[in-house]
Structure 1
């Protein structure tokens, strides 16, 4: 039987899926976030479609004392993995099963039991892929022409989560371009030609940005007293950014104490309200 781990140990989770495993991993990460600072170590085992493949993963889970989370829709495979986990005394979580079962009872219908239905190659899927490619292409204002093509334009000083936020919104099918604001560099003309309603300014407190930049310098093996993390320099950058956002007349969000998901939620709600 698996024993409890200490918060200083890694929580190992093996995600078994008959598709890519994205759904299972997302649920596991969301749940594990409630137990910070436990360090999460996830390994995906995608496109599992046989008992033999399941057995191989279960052997690894026993050896490494990993938790099993699975998204299998074929009833025989679901039953097998639950039975085996019980016999082997493994912690095993059926991510989709209970939801599918309850939907069947509520709708009076039987599930199709077809793997990969969430990620089928439909119009929405291709739109998401296109948005991700767009976010990569126009990240950090590599090509200012993307500003006029984007659904959302993010502006802010360095380390205000512009890139991760761009990618998160891309997974929601929004084409996002982002523009770093630096006092010594003139913003591209396209920024002033774009519709202010699609521009979102990201502001942050001096204290928070100072801490983030010091950690960034430390991770790069650089001196945390560098000008990049200097309080006076940061204040100058933020003052410049706020002034520019005022000139643009754009929506401004304070990201000082917000996770990327929270900021994205505010942006999505804002655009939803704009389009009503």
Structure 2
């Protein structure tokens, strides 16, 4: 096991750095990373105090600092100590600057500004939680996406993931004996997406669900013939109404969400531009 001290310096909350560090470390096995978080570093005096701690526990330094004086001091001191200092966002920001032909605004914590997009994301999460499992169908027209599928076809976790990306999502379980609300078939604004899976995979997931609830393992809920009929009923509905369908059998939640986002983007690109 390789042990590594990882110093994450930010002039904001450090959330971006934490995500970058997690993604990077996930690519290596046998590494024990000791993370040291140093948020809101915006002055040379504050930086000097942090550098004293770094010198005591040397390791890799990753930073997001927009103040040029503080950045140069950090880089110079790390070089003198023989430590690697890496700017997490410079390559991306540099590429964007060249492509857009614009200079950066150099605003500390700019990526976390509480702008309209931030509040839209919070509202999307609230909406999605309030419209889980078929609740408040009369408000579905306000959604960006409506997910439909049989029970345990990953509708809720996919909805929550999409909400964290800023999409207002409702979802509806499809039950053979209980047809969905009629307005599901007349929605105009939201994109309705059908989620399906293989019968064997669905039965496995449902059995695990029953075990977690201490319910008996053999019920109609996991009967092979019944599950096959449920899936056929859902697929027929998807086809009859021309809804795009995603098979989640071998997809992670992230992969399913990415496919849905691509569908939403393609749909928006086809819509006529507003005057």
TM-score, length of structure 2 as denominator length: 0.71
CA distance in 1, matches of 2:241, 2:76: 60
Residue 157 in structure 1 maps to residue 150 in structure 2 = yes
CA distance in 2, matches of 1:138, 1:14: 41
| Aligned-partner Cα distance in 1 for 2:69–2:157 | 39
Larger radius of gyration: 2
User: Does the CA contact (< 8 Å) of 1:196 and 1:250 recur in 2?
Assistant: no
1:253 CA drift (Å): 0.9
Q: Which of 157, 177, 187 pairs up with 1:194?
A: 187
Task: Map 1:184-263; keep pairs closer than 5 Å.
Answer: 184-195=177-188, 198-216=191-209, 220=212, 222=214, 225=217, 227=219, 230=222, 232=224, 234-263=227-256
Deviation string, structure 1 residues 198-229 (Cα, Å, up to 9, x no partner): 210011112333444455556x4746936487
CA distance in 2, matches of 1:143, 1:251: 23
1:73 aligned counterpart, secondary structure = coil
Determine the structure 2 residue equivalent to 1:138: 131
Measured after TM superposition, the shift of residue 154 of structure 1 is: 0.7
Q: Are residues 129 and 230 of structure 1, via their aligned partners in 2, closer, same or farther at CA, if it must alter by over 3 Å?
A: same
Judge which range, 37-46 or 225-234, deviates more.
37-46
Cα distance in 2 for partners of 1:209, 1:39 equals 36
Consecutive unaligned residues of structure 1, counting only runs of 5 or more, are: 6-10
Is the contact made by 2:163 and 2:169 (CA closer than 8 Å) also made in structure 1?
yes
Note the C-alpha offset of 1:236. Answer: 4.0
**What is the count of residue pairs matched by the alignment?**
267
Give the CA deviation at 1:168. Answer: 3.3
CA distance in 2, matches of 1:221, 1:90: 52
Inter-partner Cα distance in structure 2 for 1:247 and 1:67: 56
Uncovered stretches (5+) of structure 2, i.e. residues with no partner: 271-275
Change (3 A) 1:153 1:66: farther
Residue correspondence of structure 1 range 83-162 to structure 2 within 5 A: 93-100=86-93, 111-162=104-155
